């Protein structure tokens, strides 16, 4: 009779919630699409925080100083494993600017490719070299702590992980689990992640 009793235990082990693998996969899939669209594009960090909180992000959501110092691109509410997670996007090397120095936050789709050749008859107002080098983004994902399977303990060191070309840093506060992510060079991301411990 012991055999049938094992079944319910196996079912109990399956926890519902978001895990790090799920967050990593969904971020990589979403931001690898050249034509992805963010819910909101703005350089105004308070506006983005207010938007995410209006969509259900934890009230305790706060951007760490090391990331808050970067220019904002925008934000997105993503579905991961059936639950919502809240993503803020930042430029690692500053917001792209036009020849006159005007910020161009809407140019984010060009980060995945070099500028296309100007086709005959196309609008050639923008210089073809403007987005010559890829724009590197840092994403800050916020998940309510009670929805994160295997949440780190408060006070644990920032956990570092890698998934292909992407680097991830994970840590927790009382109510929130944060995951910072970027396809930047691992060394550059590690420098940023180290500063998260002192935020």
Per-residue pLDDT band at 199 (split at 50, 70, 90): very low
What is the pLDDT, as a whole number, of residue 77? 97
More confident residue, 94 or 4: 94
The enclosing H or E element of 84 equals strand 83-91
Examine the pLDDT at 8 and tell me if it is beyond 60: no
pLDDT tens digits, residue range 111-135? 333 334 444 554 444 443 333 345 6
Instruction: Report the SS3 class of residue 3.
Output: helix
* Local confidence band at 172 (pLDDT 50, 70, 90 cut-offs): very high
- Tell me if the pTM is above 0.85: no
Instruction: Dump the DSSP string for 96-121.
Output: -B-TT--B-GGGGGGGGSPPPPPPTT
- Asked if residue 22 lies in contact with residue 80, where contact means CB atoms within 8 angstroms, the answer is yes
- Average pLDDT value over all residues in the chain: 79
44-96 pLDDT, tens digit per residue, is 999 999 999 999 999 999 999 989 999 999 999 999 999 999 999 999 887 66
Rounded to the nearest 10°, the torsion over CA 103, 106, 112, 118 is -90
pLDDT value for 133: 41
> In sequence order, which residues have a C-beta less than 8 Å from that of residue 178 and are 6 or more positions away?
64, 140, 141, 142, 143, 170, 171, 172
pLDDT higher than 90, residue 28: yes
Nearest alpha carbon to residue 76 among 149, 115, 26: 26
């Amino acid at each position: 009779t012991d055999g049938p009793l094992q079944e319910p235990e196996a079912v109990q082990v399956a926890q519902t919630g978001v895990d790090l693998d799920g967050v990593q996969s969904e971020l990589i899939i979403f931001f690898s699409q050249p034509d992805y669209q963010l819910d909101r594009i703005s350089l105004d960090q308070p506006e983005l925080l207010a938007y995410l909180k209006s969509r259900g992000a934890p009230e305790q959501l706060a951007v760490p100083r090391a990331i808050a110092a970067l220019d904002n691109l925008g934000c997105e509410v993503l579905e991961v494993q059936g639950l919502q997670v809240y993503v803020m996007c930042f430029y690692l090397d500053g917001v792209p600017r036009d020849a006159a120095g005007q910020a161009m936050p809407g140019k984010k789709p060009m980060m995945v490719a070099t500028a296309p050749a100007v086709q005959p008859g196309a609008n050639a107002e923008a210089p073809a070299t403007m987005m010559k080098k890829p724009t590197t983004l840092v994403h800050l994902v916020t998940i309510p702590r009670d929805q994160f399977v295997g949440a780190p303990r408060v006070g644990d060191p920032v956990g570092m992980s890698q998934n292909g070309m992407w680097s991830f840093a994970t840590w927790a506060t009382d109510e929130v689990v944060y995951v910072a992510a970027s396809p930047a060079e691992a060394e550059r991301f590690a420098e940023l992640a180290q500063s998260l411990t002192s935020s």
